[in-house]
A and B are shown apart, each in its own frame.
Chain A
Amino acid sequence: MSETSRARGPADSTDGREYTRLDAFRALCLARFRESYREPEVLFWGFVFPIMLSVGLSIAFRNRPAETLPLAVIAGARAEPTAAVLRAAPLLRAEVMAEEAAVRALALGKVALVVAPRADGSLEYRLDPSRSESAIARARADDALQRAAGRRDPLANTVAEVREPGGRYIDFLIPGIVGMNLMSGGMWGVGFNLVDMRIKRLLKRLVAAPMRRPDFLAAHLTMRLVSMVIEVSFMLGFGHLAFGVPVRGGLASVFAVGALGALCFGGLGLLVGSRARRMETVTGLMNVVMMPMFVLSGIFFSADRFPQVLQPLIRLLPLTALNDAMRAVVLEGARLPALSAPLAVLVMWTLLSFAAGLKLFRWS
């Protein structure tokens, strides 16, 4: 920005500096970086929101110690001794109720199981077989009552407890949020932003200057890659410090997968924003592209839960590929050659979206 001292004639008002194409590219990158990180929305959606999401979901789906299950014993002659045995048993909470109240409590889900001691000494368990806690409560209650009645177990056994990071819900979630962030970063940061600049005629103004058009798009993508490094480091760092989420793969692999994801969604953003001249058009298109992947691509729960017939289709979605590859690297320490299938999907989408996006692109 400084004026050099190279003197020129009074009629010549130039600053005496000669700018190269590289200077212009650098200035475009810098402008893009400043624009995005001065946007409060970018900071919120890129950093605050993912943290809120992961903290919220980690609380909702925390790996709990085995839950104490409530059950009801129907009032009667043998109710109290039965309830006493159950109260002494681990992870059960027994309460004696009149039959009518017990049935209603079961129907309302307030108790997992109703135990009805019969006069002849036998037991009746009433439960809803579709509720897994009912089955667990029945197994625990039956175990306790049978032992109290004198059962001896023929096989001796011990329990060894294993708790290792990597298998918890939060471990699954953090790489998924990284993938989700790369998707929305590309769609909003490239697609929406280009349409915004087109509507404001800023694209037109830029091409009326001797700015090279490819450099402008290259600057956008370069800054997506820079943002990717910042966002991925931030999210994985947060997961590691706050929840002990491991990063087992090499950082080079992590960022290679991240870069491919950022380019792929940058390309899809370019395609989605290549022609639209109205905000409604581009936000509609973005929803059409992102919504199915939010649901199907295994951000919050494994994509394996969907029916088998859908699996080939789901594996072809770019976010599924990104999430699979990122999880494999982060959680299992996988190396890139082992990830050829998801990486090939990402490369395919990247090439297709750039080819179509650049062909369709309009500057005004």
Chain B
Amino acid sequence: MSEGNAPSVVVRDLHKTYGSVEAVRGLSFEVAPGECFGLLGPNGAGKTTTIEILEGLLAPTGGEVVVLGRRWGRDDQAIRERMGVCLQQTVLSEKLLVDETVQLFRSFYRRGRAAEAVIREVELTEKARARVGTLSGGQKQRLAVACALVGDPELILLDEPTTGLDPQSRRQVWDIVNAFKAGGRTVLLTTHYMDEAERLCDRVAIVDHGRVIAEGSPMHLMTSLGGEHVVEIAVREDGAGPMTASAMEGLPGVRAAHAEAGRVVLTVTEPHVAVPAVLERLRAGGWALSGLSTRHASLEDVFVSLTGRHLRDE
């Protein structure tokens, strides 16, 4: 972190086109040292393209990228020495042992960490002498993270680090990332899991169709909905006909309402004020309630309110 407070990553007006397809269209963000920053968005939003440009694996069509104060094309080797990378779905060599694999990656860096220490950190010590081909999906992913950590990087870039993993393996990967962050290092990750972004990221940028459509801390984005709570209501079909979202607008404590898959979803500041008002409105309208649930707002709700679509729709 020799740059002091200079950002670890700067992306300005990034563009990438493949033939006639615009994968990234004017994307900008900055990541501060010691921060965990998440690019959140559905598949095809341009997250992987963006992170591969940051990794120096793809050349941008336009825009500016600065990584650890340096630029690709001039200081490639210097950037790679200080950066750890975990690609989406890398299959490491199945015939090598776990410790051989980590040691191989260690040998690429001038300075780095002892392979055993990193293997211990990702809790693969028992599997150190096992062939990579015999590992479970979660173990393979932890090994991939170990290969990103063994160069003792200042910055790690993780592309969908827990996609396809079981809940326990996901939590193990989160613990590793949090430990890395606790050492004052910088993390940039992509994900389409809300809970992952909420658990790991200090700030997220919500990406859709190659642009950042919202940016801030998860808490900030959720409160930007106007309320921190979500109330979902459903009515019986044999009642007074379909319920409309507009029927719920303007009630005390209700900041926004939209219909979704036969239900009405309300963004609410104070559930104890809003819920009685909602029930009163239902009774007055002749609707019979068939379901009601309340929960804290999530980044998923932010995404839906911004785009009208769910993150996992694609």
A35 neighbours in B (Cβ, 8 Å): 93, 95-96
Classify the interface of chain B: helix, strand, loop or mixed: loop
Query: B184 CB to closest chain A CB, in angstroms?
Result: 8
Chain B 165-184 residues near chain A, CB threshold 8 A: 183-184
Contact of A14 among B107, B147, B152 (CB under 8 A): B152
Size of the chain A interface, CB-CB below 8 angstroms: 33
Q: In the bound complex, what is the Cα–Cα distance between A13 and B109 (angstroms)?
A: 14
Instruction: Evaluate whether A14 and B113 lie within 8 angstroms (CB atoms) in the complex, with A1-B103, A31-B100, A207-B57 already known.
Output: yes
Query: B34 CB to closest chain A CB, in angstroms?
Result: 13
Please determine whether B104 and A27 come into contact, CB atoms closer than 8 angstroms. yes
Whether, in the assembled complex, B13 has its beta carbon less than 8 Å from a beta carbon of chain A, the answer is no
Chain A residue nearest in CB terms to B89: A201
Instruction: Evaluate whether A38 and B95 lie within 8 angstroms (CB atoms) in the complex, with A1-B115, A208-B56 already known.
Output: yes
Please determine whether A204 and B95 come into contact, CB atoms closer than 8 angstroms. no
Chain A residue nearest in CB terms to B97: A34
Please determine whether A15 and B112 come into contact, CB atoms closer than 8 angstroms. yes
Whether, in the assembled complex, B214 has its beta carbon less than 8 Å from a beta carbon of chain A, the answer is no
Whether, in the assembled complex, B77 has its beta carbon less than 8 Å from a beta carbon of chain A, the answer is yes
Instruction: Evaluate whether A208 and B103 lie within 8 angstroms (CB atoms) in the complex, with A19-B110, A200-B90 already known.
Output: no
A34 neighbours in B (Cβ, 8 Å): 95-96, 100
Please determine whether B110 and A3 come into contact, CB atoms closer than 8 angstroms. no
Please determine whether A27 and B113 come into contact, CB atoms closer than 8 angstroms. no
Whether, in the assembled complex, B151 has its beta carbon less than 8 Å from a beta carbon of chain A, the answer is yes
Contact mask for chain A residues 255-274; partner B; CB cutoff 8 A; 1 contact, 0 none: 00000000000000000000
Whether, in the assembled complex, A23 has its beta carbon less than 8 Å from a beta carbon of chain B, the answer is yes
Classify the interface of chain A: helix, strand, loop or mixed: loop
Contact mask for chain A residues 176-214; partner B; CB cutoff 8 A; 1 contact, 0 none: 000000000000000000000100111011111111000
Q: In the bound complex, what is the Cα–Cα distance between A1 and B102 (angstroms)?
A: 10
Instruction: Evaluate whether A27 and B103 lie within 8 angstroms (CB atoms) in the complex, with A34-B96, A211-B108 already known.
Output: yes
Contact mask for chain B residues 81-96; partner A; CB cutoff 8 A; 1 contact, 0 none: 1000101011111011
Please determine whether B90 and A15 come into contact, CB atoms closer than 8 angstroms. no
Instruction: Evaluate whether A210 and B81 lie within 8 angstroms (CB atoms) in the complex, with A14-B113, A201-B90 already known.
Output: yes
Chain A residue nearest in CB terms to B55: A208
Please determine whether A210 and B109 come into contact, CB atoms closer than 8 angstroms. yes
Whether, in the assembled complex, B129 has its beta carbon less than 8 Å from a beta carbon of chain A, the answer is no
Please determine whether B92 and A205 come into contact, CB atoms closer than 8 angstroms. yes
Please determine whether A23 and B107 come into contact, CB atoms closer than 8 angstroms. yes
Contact mask for chain B residues 50-85; partner A; CB cutoff 8 A; 1 contact, 0 none: 000001110000000000000000000100110001
Whether, in the assembled complex, A71 has its beta carbon less than 8 Å from a beta carbon of chain B, the answer is no
Size of the chain B interface, CB-CB below 8 angstroms: 38
Q: In the bound complex, what is the Cα–Cα distance between A206 and B80 (angstroms)?
A: 11
Instruction: Evaluate whether A202 and B108 lie within 8 angstroms (CB atoms) in the complex, with A208-B55, A208-B80, A208-B87 already known.
Output: no
A79 neighbours in B (Cβ, 8 Å): none
Q: In the bound complex, what is the Cα–Cα distance between A253 and B229 (angstroms)?
A: 81
Please determine whether A18 and B91 come into contact, CB atoms closer than 8 angstroms. no
Chain B 100-141 residues near chain A, CB threshold 8 A: 100, 103-117, 131
Please determine whether B90 and A1 come into contact, CB atoms closer than 8 angstroms. no
Contact of B117 among A13, A31, A200 (CB under 8 A): A13
Query: B121 CB to closest chain A CB, in angstroms?
Result: 9
Please determine whether A13 and B113 come into contact, CB atoms closer than 8 angstroms. yes
Please determine whether A15 and B151 come into contact, CB atoms closer than 8 angstroms. no
Please determine whether B91 and A201 come into contact, CB atoms closer than 8 angstroms. yes
Please determine whether A31 and B96 come into contact, CB atoms closer than 8 angstroms. yes
Please determine whether B93 and A210 come into contact, CB atoms closer than 8 angstroms. no
Q: In the bound complex, what is the Cα–Cα distance between A33 and B113 (angstroms)?
A: 24
Q: In the bound complex, what is the Cα–Cα distance between A26 and B105 (angstroms)?
A: 12
A204 neighbours in B (Cβ, 8 Å): 57, 87, 90
Q: In the bound complex, what is the Cα–Cα distance between A207 and B80 (angstroms)?
A: 9
A336 neighbours in B (Cβ, 8 Å): none
Q: In the bound complex, what is the Cα–Cα distance between A153 and B52 (angstroms)?
A: 92
A20 neighbours in B (Cβ, 8 Å): 110
B152 neighbours in A (Cβ, 8 Å): 13-14
A201 neighbours in B (Cβ, 8 Å): 87, 89-91
Instruction: Evaluate whether A210 and B80 lie within 8 angstroms (CB atoms) in the complex, with A200-B90, A201-B90 already known.
Output: yes
Contact mask for chain B residues 138-157; partner A; CB cutoff 8 A; 1 contact, 0 none: 00000000010001100000
Please determine whether B96 and A15 come into contact, CB atoms closer than 8 angstroms. no
Query: Contacts A17-B111, A209-B80 given; 17 further ones with Cβ under 8 A?
Result: A1-B99, A3-B114, A3-B116, A11-B184, A14-B112, A18-B111, A19-B107, A23-B107, A24-B108, A27-B103, A28-B104, A201-B90, A204-B57, A205-B85, A209-B85, A209-B105, A210-B110
> What are 10 contact pairs spanning A and B, CB under 8 A?
A14-B152, A19-B112, A20-B110, A27-B107, A35-B93, A205-B90, A208-B56, A209-B85, A209-B105, A210-B151
By Cβ-Cβ distance, the 7 closest A-B pairs, closest first, are A27-B107, A200-B91, A15-B114, A210-B80, A38-B95, A208-B85, A211-B108
Chain A residues in the interface with B (C-beta under 8 A):
1, 3, 11, 13-15, 17-20, 23-24, 26-28, 31, 34-35, 38-39, 197, 200-202, 204-211, 364
